[in-house]
Amino acid sequence: MYRFFQSMDEFNVIEPIGSIYENSFKLGDRVPKCDDGKGNKLVNFVCYCLNPNHYHFILEQLVEKGIEKFMHRLGSGYTTHFNKKYKRSGSLFQGKYKAVHVDSNEYLLHVSVYVNLNDKVHKLGDSVSKSKSSWGEYIKGTKNIQDGFCSKRIILDQFKNTGEYKKFAEESLKDIQERKDIQKLLLD
Q: Output the pLDDT for position 155.
A: 96
pLDDT at 63: 97
> What is the residue type of 81?
H
User: In this predicted structure, what is the pLDDT of residue 188?
Assistant: 46
pLDDT at 180: 61
Residue-level pLDDT at 126 = 63
- pLDDT of res. 29: 47
107 φ/ψ angles, rounded to the nearest 5 degrees: -60, -45
Note if the pTM is more than 0.75: yes
In the chain (188 residues long), the average pLDDT of successive 10-residue segments reads: 90 82 55 55 96 92 97 93 93 88 94 94 70 90 67 94 95 86 54
Which of 67, 65, 64, 135 is CA-nearest to residue 98?
67
Distances (CA, A) of 72 to 7, 19, 76: 12, 14, 6
Task: List C-alpha distances in Å: 3 to 20, 91, 181.
Answer: 10, 17, 33
Neighbours of 89 (CB within 10 A): 8
Spell out the domain ranges in the chain: 2-43+57-85, 105-187
Backbone angles phi, psi at 45, to 5 degrees: -85, 125
Res 118: pLDDT: 92
